[in-house]
């Protein structure tokens, strides 16, 4: 009996050991969570930055996103690829706008030339005259709406009708 510990002392030692084990487990778990959270944060940060840059570019395609492109990992490669794509899109949009402006200027010059010509200029399509210039309407004596209803061949001199329709 002298070797046995009193029951209340045993409970105290047991409680102390359980408390110590639980404390060690909590500390280990806390350390794991700290490093895991930091790892996840380091992993998610570049993805979040790229997502934010893509959203900003979508809202304003003229603004160049600010991304960390000098990284030597997959995120650096992804960022460089994204930036190259943004640059290509901006170049394409600029060229497209320039082409549209050039086309509008060309169409306006063509329209002025056709509308102010002293000769009849028109497009014959589907057997009728479409898109006549003012001189065509003046020379033939019909409006554009009337010309769209009259068969094209009826407006040609009878002696030239076969040749013109064959070439048309």
Q: CA 131 to CA 8: how far, in whole Å?
A: 110
Q: Identify the pLDDT of residue 1.
A: 43
For residue range 93-129, list pLDDT tens digits in order: 899 999 999 999 999 999 999 999 999 998 888 888 8
Q: Is the pLDDT of residue 80 over 80?
A: yes
Q: What are phi and psi of 70, to 5 degrees?
A: -90, 5
- Gap between the terminal Cα atoms of the chain: 127
Q: CA 127 to CA 115: how far, in whole Å?
A: 22
The model carries a pTM of 0.51
Q: CA 29 to CA 148: how far, in whole Å?
A: 85
For residue range 20-33, list pLDDT tens digits in order: 777 787 788 777 77
Mean pLDDT of 158-162: 91
Residue 76's Cβ-count burial label (10 Å; 0-12, 13-18, 19+) is: middle
For residue range 18-70, list pLDDT tens digits in order: 667 777 877 887 777 777 777 777 777 777 788 888 887 777 767 677 777 77
% the chain with pLDDT above 70: 87
């Amino acid at each position: 009996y002298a070797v046995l510990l009193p029951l209340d002392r045993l409970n105290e030692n047991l409680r102390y050991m359980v408390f110590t084990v639980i404390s060690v487990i909590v500390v280990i778990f806390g350390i794991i969570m700290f490093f895991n959270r930091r790892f996840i944060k380091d992993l998610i940060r570049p993805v979040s930055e790229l997502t934010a840059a893509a959203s900003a570019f979508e809202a304003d395609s003229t603004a160049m996103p600010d991304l960390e492109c000098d990284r030597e990992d997959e995120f650096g490669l992804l960022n460089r690829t994204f930036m190259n794509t943004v640059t290509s899109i901006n170049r394409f949009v600029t060229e497209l706008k320039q082409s549209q402006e050039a086309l509008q200027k060309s169409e306006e010059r063509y329209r002025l030339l056709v509308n102010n010509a002293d000769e009849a200029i028109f497009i014959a399509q589907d057997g009728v005259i479409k898109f006549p210039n003012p001189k065509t309407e003046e020379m033939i004596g019909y409006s554009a709406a009337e010309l769209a209803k009259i068969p094209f061949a009826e407006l040609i001199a009878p002696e030239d009708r076969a040749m013109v329709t064959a070439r048309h």
